[in-house]
Amino acid sequence: MAIRIVSLVARLGLAAVWLISGGIKFLDPVQTKIAVRAYQLLPESLVGPVAIAMPLVEIVLGLLLLVGLAVRASAAVSVLMLVVLIGVIISVWARGLSIDCGCFGGGGAADVDAWDYFSEILRDIGFLALALWLCFFPRSPLALGQGSRTAFSVEAQSSMAR
């Protein structure tokens, strides 16, 4: 039962991360484009499409996790996105750029130091841990998806099995 509760907390926590992050970016597309451009990794022709797609993907992931549909698949996509984001932050740090990651709005040139990058990486590793947990333990209470749903009590679980 404890695993199911941890899965519920992980699912709702990761949903909140994606919904807040995606929502802030979606509401400020100009700033999101500035943030994507600041990483200096994409050709200019891809900056706009990535700045539009990223918040939408984050919002969809957040909604799926919030309601508990396709939890394992949403967690797997979250793992991929977080690994890429961590890699991109490491790349910026290694190249000596000084930017705000724009993960929760903002972004672009900023006065940051090694601690800022390190703390962003640690934060994203924490989110990655939530996503990995859900890859292995996707079932939780209050989920709508058949492969993600479980009951709160042992009695309810045993009665459902009959």
Q: Work out the end-to-end distance of the chain between its first and last CA atoms, rounded to an integer number of angstroms.
A: 19
Q: Does position 161 have pLDDT exceeding 80, yes or no? A: no
Query: What is the model's pLDDT at position 127?
Result: 98
Q: Which two tokens stand for residue 112?
A: 């940051």
Could you report the per-residue pLDDT of 104-144, keeping only the tens digit for each? 888 888 888 899 999 999 999 999 999 999 999 999 988 88
Contact by Cβ (8 Å): 23, 59: yes
Could you tell me how far CA 84 lies from the centroid of its own chain?
11
Query: What is the model's pLDDT at position 146?
Result: 72
Could you report the per-residue pLDDT of 51-106, keeping only the tens digit for each? 999 999 999 999 999 999 999 999 999 999 999 999 999 999 999 999 988 888 88
